């Protein structure tokens, strides 16, 4: 049986592209869309996958990562599905890819103007923790009433003395909409601010698309006396590559019980190791 290019039928792709255009036109605004059935379960990246499938063309070069890794089961399966139904080229190098689908990370290599980053989003509504009604959250967004997003952070300060949201930290986009940036670590939030590429966020289960267009102001929410801070890896060094200043995974050595750190973005780490090896060979 023949399969349509990029799995989805053309009408579905057109509808998703139309909603994507609307999301780009209104940065940070959640655009509802008719989320399609896919051969993976909702909650496993169907929002991101639908965006990827509707946008991909034969000339595109695809990269899929899951929590910084190109080799995880989720990333491999999504990449295989897209590759099998499109035949497009794939890469692990961020700078070569034209379309990057990611779960929970923005790559360490800054995006370029020709690139699109698609993020998988489990919960697109930043006010959901304080307001369960979709009707009411829509009204709150309409009125730019975001005290709900702030009281969640305020409560954390009251309980723990600091803000404890380490991922999916809410951001104000273009001074208008508060957006849930998907569960990327706080470390990645500043990368969205005035970045050169297009960032699209798709929530398949919640049927929403939102976007951060290139060169858009993205500001993490904070208080005057509790400013926004990223995770601090300044004094940490990657055990595998010797890199520092990047987002790292904290691991424990099974034999010694010692805590060590490894660069989370595996392709970035490989590139740096290769560069180092080439330099070393040249000497």
Partner 1 sequence: MPANDDVVLSIRDLSKQFGRGCEYCSDENYELQKNMCPHCHTVYAVRNTSFDLYKGEILGIVGESGSGKSTLMKMLYFDQDATSGNYNLPEDLTVKGNVFNVSSQKKRQIRNEQLGMVYQNPILGLKMDFSSVTNIAEKLIASGNRNVGEMTDRADHFLEKVNIALNRKYEAPKNFSGGMQQRVQIAKALSNYPPILLLDEVTTGLDLSVQADVLELIKEIQRDMGVSMIVVSHDLAIIRMLCDRTMVMLDGEVIEHGITDQILEDPQHKYTQQLVYSIL
* Span near partner 1 by CB under 8 A; candidates 70-78, 95-103, 220-228, 231-239: 220-228
Distance CA 179, CA 125 (A): 7
Pick one of 3, 59, 143, 281: the residue that binds partner 1 (CB under 8 A): 143
Based on CB atoms, which residue is closest to partner 1, 15 or 155?
155
**Minimal distance, residue 178 CB to partner 1, in Å:** 13
Based on CB atoms, which residue is closest to partner 1, 160 or 255?
160
**Minimal distance, residue 146 CB to partner 1, in Å:** 9
* Span near partner 1 by CB under 8 A; candidates 18-26, 38-46, 145-153, 274-282: 145-153
Q: Which of residues 226-255 bind partner 1 (CB under 8 A)?
A: 226
Pick one of 41, 151, 277, 278: the residue that binds partner 1 (CB under 8 A): 151
* CA angle 123–125–127, rounded 5-degree value: 125
**Minimal distance, residue 142 CB to partner 1, in Å:** 7
Residue 154 within binding range of partner 1, rule CB under 8 A: yes
Q: Which chain residues interact with partner 1 by CB under 8 A?
A: 130, 139, 142-145, 147, 150-151, 154-155, 157-159, 222-226
């Amino acid at each position: 049986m023949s399969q349509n290019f990029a799995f989805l039928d053309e009408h579905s792709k057109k509808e998703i592209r139309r909603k994507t255009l609307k999301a780009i036109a209104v940065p940070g605004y959640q655009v509802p869309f008719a989320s399609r059935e896919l051969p993976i379960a909702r909650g496993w990246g169907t929002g991101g996958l639908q965006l990827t499938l509707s946008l991909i063309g034969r000339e595109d070069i695809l990269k899929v990562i899951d929590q910084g890794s190109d080799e995880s089961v989720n990333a491999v399966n999504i990449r295989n599905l897209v590759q099998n139904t499109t035949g497009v080229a794939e890469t692990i190098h961020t700078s070569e890819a034209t379309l990057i689908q990611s779960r929970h990370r923005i790559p360490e290599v800054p995006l370029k103007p020709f690139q699109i980053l698609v993020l998988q989003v489990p919960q697109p509504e930043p006010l959901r923790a304080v307001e369960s009604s979709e009707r009411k959250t829509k009204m709150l967004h309409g009125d730019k009433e975001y005290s709900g997003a702030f009281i969640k952070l305020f409560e954390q300060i009251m309980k723990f003395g600091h803000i404890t949201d380490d991922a999916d930290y809410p951001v104000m986009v273009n001074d208008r909409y508060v957006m849930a940036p998907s569960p990327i670590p706080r470390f990645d939030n500043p990368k969205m601010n005035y970045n050169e590429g297009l960032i699209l966020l798709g929530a398949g289960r919640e049927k929403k698309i939102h976007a951060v267009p290139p060169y858009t102001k993205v500001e993490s929410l904070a208080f005057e006396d509790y400013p926004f801070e990223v995770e601090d890896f300044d004094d940490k060094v990657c055990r595998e590559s010797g890199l520092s200043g990047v987002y790292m995974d904290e691991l424990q050595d099974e034999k010694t019980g010692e805590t060590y750190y490894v660069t989370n973005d595996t392709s970035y780490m490989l590139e740096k190791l290769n560069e180092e090896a080439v330099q070393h060979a040249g000497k």
